[in-house]
Structure 1
Amino acid sequence: MSLMAFTTVYAQEEEELETDLTTLQFVDADGNVIADGATVNFAPTDPEETPGGFEIKPGIFVENLTDEPVYTAAQVNITAMSSGSLMCCFPANCYNKFELEEFTTDPSEPIQAKAKHSLNTEWYAEAYGSCTASFQLKIYEATLAPGQFVPTKDLIANGPKITVNFIYNDPASINGVSNDGAKAVAFYNANGQQINNLQKGLNFIKYSNGKTVKTVIK
């Protein structure tokens, strides 16, 4: 039996790849669409402490808009990281990066029809700071030739792309304001609407001691 029967083959040619925004899309934990080209910020006030640092994990998912399974991967470009490492396990295989670099994950398993799959990415921060990375979805066509057990995956299109800012701030010292140990209890945007995390632009942070602090995320 030939080696081809056990090997997944990927098309590497990306010249003149079309952009397809009808097959996959990014969504948040509530199902809200994150538009192609958008920049999103995640700044939890109480991140989980792990052996690798403080875990900053945005609730981002990739949704399959079609009635068929879709093989996909992510081209990840880490452009800033103040400390720690960025872990990406999308769709399944994990990559843990400690330096600024660009890499593409393995399209090892498909997203099922009409299903959502977590982006499975987190920044492990060792100290207050930030990490910035872009995520470009890649769309593959899978074919299974006679005698093959693993399908050949040919890269056919680029999907949507977003940029994520992972932010680990000390809530008690944003803009140099001391809150005497008070914890942030709510976030609001410039329109006064409550939001889950700090966003780009003007934000208002309400603390447990009753104070409200204005901050700007750039």
Structure 2
Amino acid sequence: MTSDLPYGTAEAPRVAVRGEARLEVDPEIARIGITVSARGTDRRSALDDLTRRNTTVLDLVKSYGQAVEKLETGAFSISPELTRHGRAERVRAYHGRVHLTAELTDFTALGELTTRLADLELTRVDGPWWALRPDSPAHAEARRRAVTEAVQRAREYAQALGTGLAALIELADLGAENATPYGALPPAAGGARMAFAAEAADIAPALDLEPQRQTVTAQVNARFTMHPPQL
């Protein structure tokens, strides 16, 4: 029963420490949000225009081949714009929107694609949002460094008492997290964000984008037993 006590015994004193690691690494992927809009005097013309613009955007993104790792269509909407006519209201026009998300691994292609998309009529581009993959080696490296720090810290405590570590009792992973989580687009207020919208047909030069470094952290709690010190 004594061995289950968290504070150890005189024959097997315990030391509890926390190991932490923080890495700054280059991102592996970048995501952009694309909003395609259309307007028509009737529902059918708005839908036809939206379909045409959406197809143009999809074809442009797909033309970058393997540089685009993922392309997904999100929300779609078509809504009437009402105007007051006497005491009644009538439909003045219809507005349609399609939201897409593209994920790229080639950041040189990203700059060119972003400007080409923004140069399309009634097309808005948001982003980029930089991120690491969930299985990025950076996460494993951060965890290794956190464990190394925990062992080193415990060893220093033991050495301060003139003794050494005897055994590892417990290692608890508090988790490693990425500053920009992989998955859904981050909130607009967080991180670096740019928005582009174009109405003209002039060709714009490709953007020179500087990838935002990602912060990866890891924390572990560790408990060790020590050889009895001579106090």
Normalised TM-score (structure 1): 0.23
Whose helix proportion is higher, 1 or 2? 2
Q: Which has the higher strand share?
A: 1
Which protein shows a greater Rg?
2
- Higher RCO (CA < 8 A, seq sep 6+): 2
TM-score, scaled relative to structure 2: 0.22
